[in-house]
Structure 1
């Protein structure tokens, strides 16, 4: 149909609650895109295993998956229109991963720069086989639901390009099964952490979470890094690169207030206390609507799990059909069917002989 929405796939690993950095980097964009696309959100617990695979990590992923869904809903994703699903609940995607592995070479995977960075950030001296194949499993994720669009930042363009290569090679070898997914490149922002030293991260304990209450936000803002050279309020301070003002620009809609604070900060006529107090107000005003949506969905026990389970069941039926089309195109189904028919013919012949 001409008015059919294109299908979009994106998602998160279930490693914990989402924070303001996630909102700036991905969630805000997803909320906008859901109006234009049929959205599928993968909870990528198999990808999580490349860096977090202890029994405790896996056990925690159940609760974390619900956190991911709840944070997305709180941010504005409509759970009755979007589809959330658990990657490990779709075993057929592992079969697709196996079939795709033979369409790509190890040197091609080794040229993807982000894999080495991921291994280093996870403290891995050597790259696990699963991490090297991470982009191939990503290709299976994208293509299993025949996604036509994938939102990516510059860091992940290489991953999507590999998916496109795999889809083209499969279609060329075996016949047209997959659409060639397009990238949706947008401004994928990053947000410095409250410590001012690195981008906001769960592991660095420098994050303000979407689920933090007002008091927690106030406490974290109070302890934020500012201009380390400014030991007194009457000393002119630096606005550029100052985390407190970065947060003001990102989350405070009152541009006149920001401009006034910046001017007085540069002159040394406003203290960090006032700047932070106004940031606390702005952040809590920003998070309050999310808190209301969160409370609504969190209060219904089992509802988040229901979104995931029903979404996973829906996706699995689609992926079964995709795998059927793959096997048929490759000829794998006919190999098995020829063998099975010969065995059936032989068994019928033996049965007839025994009856005689």
Structure 2
């Protein structure tokens, strides 16, 4: 009975999150200038098409609506579960190139791209924020449990447990109220809301807004193995930067099944359904219509359509990316501008925080 009650509570919490997300989306359409977006990625390598369809497209959409957008490259957070510090600087540049190639445009829109290791004022928020949460809250965070399990580490450093608090600092330093997330990230948003609420209440100040998770309508993109989320670590991806030949080779290796008639049946044929979904996202069609078009032409025809759809969709993006790779001074200038703009915002927020805590001089 207790398990049933817990399940009901989880479902009710998700339903409330969906309702808030829908209300937020409606207001973003009407009043984009009222809102601020904070989102980002860890610099662990190049982005793949799962990142693009799952989040990058949506970031560009929000930017184009006129919503001020902060993109954090979470380089400090890489230190919690990986030993890749020698490559972090390279990966920061690679991420920035992916962002710009896909349409994020800091010169045309109010978009700021920055690595959070370069925003010391942001990171100073970590100490007061840690005083507002309990060890129990951090250890029970389901996303952290999954990250710890996925890391495969025998010794878990303290940074892993404080990861959600650092994320809260990323979100709150710029007073963001919009955080695009998937369902699995909702616990982080809830903790961030609690930190904002507790700070404002404890110090009797109205410093922070309570952010809302903007849930994506794009279904999770599975990897080419068809059974797990697309991930660089699982080697089941198609990179945004891949050439057309590399894309064809990757799609050819994708797992399907032995049935010749192609149908869209996510429950019983997840691998085929995933390829149809990818082709539909790339071409603007629907998985059902693509399946009907292919009919009994089999997996070979399906993979051909997937390859052609991806290559056509990403052709201009890849061309822009190649141009940016040869203009690294421009890419670095984008980062320097983003750092300066974000630091300016962070300094003002930290001044308010110090004043609220009676620590200003």
Contact 1:153 1:188 in 2 (8 A): no
Describe the superposition over 1:284-329 as per-residue Cα deviations: whole angstroms up to 9, x where unpaired.
1011121132233333231111111211122112212211211111
CA RMSD of aligned residues (A): 2.0
In 1, Cα distance between equivalents of 2:32 and 2:168: 27
Aligned to 1:350: none
Aligned to 2:321: 294
In 1, Cα distance between equivalents of 2:280 and 2:331: 33
Contact 1:160 1:183 in 2 (8 A): yes
Aligned to 1:22: 51
Aligned to 1:353: none
In 1, Cα distance between equivalents of 2:137 and 2:289: 51
Aligned to 1:164: 193
Contact 2:263 2:295 in 1 (8 A): no
Q: 1:171 to 1:296 in 2, by over 3 A?
A: same
In 1, Cα distance between equivalents of 2:93 and 2:190: 30
Contact 1:11 1:41 in 2 (8 A): yes
In 2, Cα distance between equivalents of 1:253 and 1:142: 32
Aligned to 2:20: none
Describe the superposition over 1:94-141 as per-residue Cα deviations: whole angstroms up to 9, x where unpaired.
221011100110111222101010011111245421111111111111
Q: 1:253 to 1:185 in 2, by over 3 A?
A: closer
1:250 to 281, 292, 311: 281
Aligned to 1:42: 72
Structure 1 unpaired stretches of 5+: 265-269, 338-356
In 2, Cα distance between equivalents of 1:172 and 1:222: 57
Aligned to 1:106: 135
Contact 2:276 2:291 in 1 (8 A): no
In 2, Cα distance between equivalents of 1:112 and 1:271: 44
Task: Tell me the CA shift for residue 208 of structure 1.
Answer: 0.2
In 1, Cα distance between equivalents of 2:180 and 2:262: 38
Task: Tell me the CA shift for residue 3 of structure 1.
Answer: 7.8
Q: 1:236 to 1:182 in 2, by over 3 A?
A: closer
Aligned to 1:332: 359
Aligned to 2:95: 68
In 2, Cα distance between equivalents of 1:76 and 1:121: 31
Q: 1:254 to 1:102 in 2, by over 3 A?
A: closer
In 1, Cα distance between equivalents of 2:168 and 2:336: 23
Aligned to 2:209: 179
Aligned to 1:305: 332
In 2, Cα distance between equivalents of 1:103 and 1:211: 42
1:155 to 179, 184, 190: 184
Aligned to 2:115: 86
Contact 1:261 1:275 in 2 (8 A): no
Q: 1:177 to 1:254 in 2, by over 3 A?
A: closer
2:237 to 175, 187, 207: 207
Aligned to 2:304: 277
Residue aligned with 2:125, SS = helix
In 2, Cα distance between equivalents of 1:313 and 1:258: 47
Give the TM-score normalised by structure 1: 0.84
In 1, Cα distance between equivalents of 2:294 and 2:298: 11
In 2, Cα distance between equivalents of 1:84 and 1:329: 28
The question of 1:133 aligning with 2:165 is answered no
